[in-house]
Structure 1
Amino acid sequence: MNSSDVKRTMEFVSNVTLLPYYMHSDGMALSYILLYTLVCVMCVWGNMLVCVVILTNKNMCSITNLFILNSPLVTCSWVWSVCQQPYLRLAIQSDDLHSSCTAASPLNLRQNSRRLKVIKMLIMVAALFMVLWLPLWTLMLLTDYQELDGQQIDFLSSFLFLVAHWLAFFNSANNPIVYGFFSENFKRGFQAAVSCRICDLQLLVSHCRRINPRRSKLVFSSIALHMWLKLIMNSQWTFLLLHSCLSLVFGLDLEVKYPPETDAVNYRDPCKAAAFIGDIALDQEDLHLFRQDQAEKDLQHTTENSNTTVNNTVNRNGETDASANRSRQFWNSLKFSRRRRAATAKNQRIWPDGVIPYMISSSFSGSQKAIFKQAMRHWERHVCVSFVERTAEKNYIIFTYRPCGCCSYVGRRGDGPQAISIGKNCDKFGIVVHELGHVIGFWHEHTRPDRDAHVSIIKENIQPGQEYNFLKMGPDEVNSLGETYDFDSIMHYSTNTFSRSVLLETILPRYDVNGIIPLIGQRMRLSEGDITQARKLYKCPKCGESLQESSGNFSSPGFPNGYVAYTQCAWSISVTPGEKIILNFTSMDLYQSHLCSYDYVEVRDGYWRNSPLIGRFCGDRVPDSLVSTNSRMWIEFHSSSNWVGKGFSALYEAMCGEELNTDRGEIASPNYPDDYHPSKVCVWKVTVTEGFQVALSFRTFKLEIHDRCAYDYVEVRDGSSENDPLLGRFCGNQIPQDIKSRSNQLWMKFVSDGSVNKCGFAANFFREVDECARPDKGHCSHMCINTLGSYRCACQPGYRLATDRRSCEAACGGFLTALNGSVFSPGWPHEYPPNKQCVWQLIAPQHYTITLLFHSFDTEGDNVCKYDYVEVRSDSRLHGRFCGATTPEPITSDSNILHVEFKSDSTVSRRGFTATFFSDVDECSRENGGCQHECVNTFGSYSCQCHSGFTLHTNLHDCKEAGCDHVITSLPVSITSSNWPEKYPNKKVCTWVLHTTPGHRIRLVFNEIDMESHLGCSYDYLEVYNGPNDASPNSLVQKHGFEASFTTDCGGALKAEAEPGDLYSHAEFGEKNYSEAEECEWIISAEKGFGVTLVFNIFDLEDEAECTYDYMELFDGPDTIAPHLGRYCGSRPPDDLSSAGDTILIKFHSDHTVSKKGFHIQYTSTKFQDILHTSDSI
């Protein structure tokens, strides 16, 4: 289990929709409470009696009764957690399963009448178990995988779920009743047990061993088998069995939905491994080696025990085969779970030359692919490995989504593609870096042979059956390469991995490092130890590095003072796909030899030493500029002479944009997936084969947001130059729609300004053919619509596609040209038919608008209108998509055409809708309706409105100047100068006073500004203060003025006073949760001689054991170099805190997933004497 398991659980819980259970009357709620209390008492009391009867009666010390004894022990522990049903991942080999079942099978016992009666009793117990639990499992499957409407969900949650839970709960209480019904011994035992004390289970087991030593093995086997069967009955196997039965019998669509695997690749699937150790998949070879190593350890342990054994008979009958039991426990538990750093000791597991080809399944989103590439670049930045997109390589890795979660094989397997599974909630940067560590060849750090000198394993806190995850590995499996133990390794377990509770530790460091207990289990970045050991594993050159910036420089060792003989260095330059690299040597002084055989610098066009050679250089002649053909370049320096030269120095730069003459490729913003650099302009010209079109599909897109895309943007044009028709200009975070050119050329431009930088974009381009341009138009009877890679047929309004998906047939809807009329769903007032699509095109005369009024409305759906709905459009504007039982508001078109579409699916049908429409002349379309400023059309009339700084005249058409003082308390907001966007008036003085949440700043962004120019801004100007201002423009020159928007930014400098000040995590605190990806810093200062005291009133951040996702961090000073006071997360407010100096730094960080309420802090200034006095008194 990774250290992120707790985070996965919290993310899962945060995504659960909590249904209102108590929607019924108080009387019914009370009855449910009484029923649950009754069955709880029956369960605990009845199962305690079963324990008493068996443990106090020697005649009942049999295999069957001890088999039964395990049931109440397990049941009593389950009775408090009926609502939590874990789906356990099991990986059991069939041969081991059969052998276990045979060893403890009751069918192998003598079949007398007494035994048959016991078997009937056990069958009844099993049958009742399935009958009582089946309703709950059925309801869970229905709610999870069957699409139910709101009323059905309300009915299930308010009644059926409570009944089903009670039935499952009652299963815990019915077993004692069954025992008493079938067995006279139990019936008499129950009557006598009330006066008996409860015996100790351990004493009874010892007693049974003394009576029959051979029987003791069968006793433990029966107990183990019964617990195993209980586990199976409550596991994923039961889930899958019910899933299959319900699908076959009831025809329900209960398909378990994973992201589709669209890549037809026959790879080595880690989910089908022979066994697992945590997130590490083991093949048969690994399994054999582990068994062999464990057998040697068991043999050694047995030999040591035999030297100290006095009585062999007692040993056989008492604590026999301890090592064999440990071995069996190890291998049995190994098959039930999945997880192991330290470098592999097998050279065949190392990727040759550090080159790791990869593929990414198309089922992943663009943002997920970006995270994978960031993780690979992180490894490349520090280690001489290269992750390259697979072309024709036999051995490579493929990122895929598998139901077994996060797992991978260790190192290169060598028999074709191997998968690295990034399951649900595993797509986090640190987790992917961890899994790639296994791919590179690392086990888990705590499995090193020398780990006992560095960490302690607290076995009593480990979850039962997970002890094997903490076993040491032998030197033949792990080679630490002489490196010291690394607490900071990203391959290390955290303190509570596989613990019984998040508050319990399973692994702890044995000693302090620099006086501090080291933190373990981080998933943020590679540690220094990770980097050093990986460089040793792949024999990286001692000099050289991986360069990933868009520009940089490097030089030979010792430059310009001379290099050392017999030196070998390598530099790998990697920039964004779609860019080229320009390399310029600024100095060259190497030993001159024939063919540069001794000392030389070699440049290759690619990612490794076998890439195509660009040139080999020596002597003192500086080479010309070198340009790569792709986004990677390899530079290698070699010296083998004793001649002393200065060496060389070079600088490189990524060339942004290029001409791409290929039918398929990738384009990305500079430095993607990291943030692009400011002030970049990149132009790509794409040309595909003649006769085809260029298709462009964006995978990810994150640029600075602006309404008109004036700052950072991507511009796409249909042709080969900037003068060709514009296909779109894009910015913000929304991925643009697929784009297609009309010809075989496409022009694309990326621009960034000098301010906000984001991660940019990644897009694929490929050649595309327009099937609709063919003479037959795709055999479509009405309209042919071309799509990327295909096409589809469509029909005119009033028609629908026939079953052949090409021809059209008459349908409901049609063209309506009357000034008024009505539309209604088919079948009104009865239920509309399924699979119906109706389109009405309402057309009025020019200068008219159309108003649509709904009178009745009842369709399937609630908030998400994806089943049955009514959609209303006006030209390209969507007025709304409506469903449910709420009648929409009146809708008025923007022009003389209104488009109304009704659609129903194949399931639920309702009454539908009725609506009337009216056409009205648009008075504003002629001479602006006589309005001086703005005209707003209304049904049957119109109204005039005025620009900012003006009010409407009493004649309701003209505008006159108004007051110009404003107080604004609600942000964000947009402000403009008077009369914007027209020219502002003369002699105008306006003030705006803006307020925001305490602890936050106000950001001012000028969208447009047009004012009289003057060097000293003496005439017309705009001033921004922390308070009021006084300005007076002159009366000679008039301009358009300005438009600005105000928003809030977290963080800032605050002054602590005697009166408490307030600090909130975000401006909308109390209204909504804090945003994702926040980075805030507050510096709170007091006067000299005073400290800062913090009181945490409200505190609610995402909870995680190591506080690595969302957290608040405190430093006793103005920066992060100051003493660290703590890192906090969760919902428990920290204790009041006082600084040792006059300044304190508060940092707040949130990631891209879960968000919570945030925090509210009050800060005050306190004299140091008061602080000391308070501390002493405490």
Structure 2
Amino acid sequence: RSSIVPETSLWSSPVPYVLENNLGLNIKGIVLRALDRLRLKSCIDFKPWDKMEEYYINHSFDVMALYSRCFSMIGREVKNGQILQLAEACQRISIAEHEFLHALGFMHEHQRFDRDDFVTINFTNVIQGLEVNFIKAEKDQYTTQSTQYDYWSVMHYGPNAFSNGNGTTITTKNPRFMPIIGQTLGISATDVLELNLLYNCGLSYFMHVNTAKGEKGDSAWLETKRVTSKRKCAIKCLQFYYYHMNSESNDLNIWIREFENEQDFVGRHRLIGRISGNNSSTDTETYKTFQVEFEVQRGEVPSTGGISIDDINLSEIQCPHVTLQIDSLPEIYNQTAQGYTIYSYNVYSTVGYRYSFGVSMEHPFIGMFIQLVSGKYDNELTWPVPDSQVTMQVLDQSPNIQSHMSYERSTYRWGKPEDHGTYYIDDYNQTVYFGPKIGIKNFIPYEKMLLRHFLKGGSAVFNIFFEGSTDIIVSVSSCVDQCFSNCCTTGGATRRSSAFRWYHLKLYCCALDLDQVALPKPNLIFGGTW
């Protein structure tokens, strides 16, 4: 991953882009998720082209390149719509990030001028005419920003890229990196570092409260810094881990303090969530400068433990809609039969489709799927499910969200469970239909779960994002509609556990009148050896 030297080839933020009308919903959703990741990990923002800028990225769809071509120019080069293309076979968020990094000014990692110290390029195994993808960069035209060679880079080809069938095209000098190069998780920590260095871009907190002493109602507080949204329509997602020990009478309260202006040092203080026993938190809205405050309050029952909070991250990205945390995953994987599955509860999407999802042990893989379930709104909904996308994700649990390399895949379109599924009679003598499982049995190799931070204390976190077309494609002027349609549920579990629980809370970006809007109730999902 070498980056261009001339500043004239760099973009000004926000970078304008166009998504052509002939793009499918799934690829649009993947592109927008990739842009959100780049926003999250750098100071670079993106915006829909307003027809004023000469330079903008034009994401197009070429019918002649339906299944194969994915490409982008390097840096800002062409006026009136610089083409970036993701064909049908390229519908992964990591590939979208790869092409957008090209557009932002990056060559491939294996084309660095110092690459011969780290890899060997086997040109005799490269398809004739495609050797250009392996030519070294000129030292006077590109810079590495003094970063180390990165086998994890999303800009690094895999061992068999453009192979003519006679063997590998790239061999790492250190054999242990052969399974790493060409990873499809996404932008790496060193990719992020070099991107921020190239564009001159400018915490994680821990808290433990011992509740063994003190009186009922005594509190301890942790405050974040003041935060102001970078975007006009920002989706704020608060994520953290907590460990509730001993007495469930102790409360973890989550507050938000909003400020009117820079001279306001007091602000307006509101409770937005509470974790107490098995009760969940509630959603709220904020669109001003604000800070988040955590309060641990001692209960009346004597306690020998307390509450710990760790890895607090606040970001302008979409919260997961449903979360399934599975504790002791290595033991479950090694001790259960092929196909053993852990299911979530049945939940409703924001527009009324009922569904559940599952994680299955598909040795040597972990499988993941979603299943539509018959619900009370089915006769009022459109079938097959129109213009909707589901993204399945295994969460990278690195402490800093900017270092996350979560693994995810997206899918779309399902039929009505009553027409295509099986049924059973529930406890209320009602017939419930389950649609076919839509997902991937070989979603992620189990050994890959051990390479990154997918496991934390033996626990893995699986997320589902269920989004309709209004969630995916929305103009800046429809900020209120976006915030309401993206109503996010809380995740994780609030019961006491032998492991830290992962938790997320949506902070609405718009000023909604909560007295006039019926928000969906939170969904609490947790896993185990059920």
TM-score by length of 1: 0.24
Larger RCO of the pair (alpha carbons < 8 Å, separation 6+):
2
Please identify the structure whose Cα radius of gyration is greater.
1
Q: Which has the higher helix share?
A: 1
